[in-house]
Amino acid sequence: MRASIAKWLIIKWLFAGPKTGYELMKLYEQIFGRTSPGTIYPILSQMECKGLVVKNGDKYVLTESGRQILEDIERRREELMEESRKKLLALADILDDDRLRRYAEYIPLMDKVHPAVLDALADVELLAMDLGERAVPVLEETVRKLRSLRNLEK
């Protein structure tokens, strides 16, 4: 799952402007911790082969295909978040659980979440399909992270 998140992040970072592989590696490290060129450059090579990025000098540039992929991913992510919210509300109604209702209301705020929380977001999306025993702890952790981010914004 981390490789697909890395690809999405690289596309987002390149959407903001051209970057060197080293700059992308440093951005990646801010989220996932220490990394090596063996993590970023193979992904960039795959993306280049697929026509999502091109290398211009020492910088990588997002192509029009890459921009389209980003738009598609963003649209699908928004759809998944809304589906997750609805399914969580439905489960909250079935279980008559106000705590789950409150968690569902945090889902629209997740667009403002730091990318470090993407793994938790992915878990929330998976839970929307298979809400089981682990739903509440994952959601509690996500809400805790959202609250801490909200406190940082103040």
Cβ distance 20 to 60 under 8 Å?
Answer: yes
3-class secondary structure per residue, 25-88: HHHHHHHHCCCCHHHHHHHHHHHHHCCCEEEECCEEEECHHHHHHHHHHHHHHHHHHHHHHHHH
Cβ atoms of residues 14 and 61 within 8 Å: yes
Q: Give residue-wise pLDDT tens across range 20-79.
A: 999 999 888 887 778 788 888 999 999 999 999 999 999 999 999 999 988 888 888 788
Structural domains in the chain, CATH included, are: 2-62 (1.10.10.10), 74-153 (no CATH)
Indicate the range of 20-24, 53-57, 101-105, 148-152 predicted with least confidence.
Answer: 148-152
Q: Has this prediction a pTM greater than 0.75?
A: no
Place of tokens 């730091």: 114
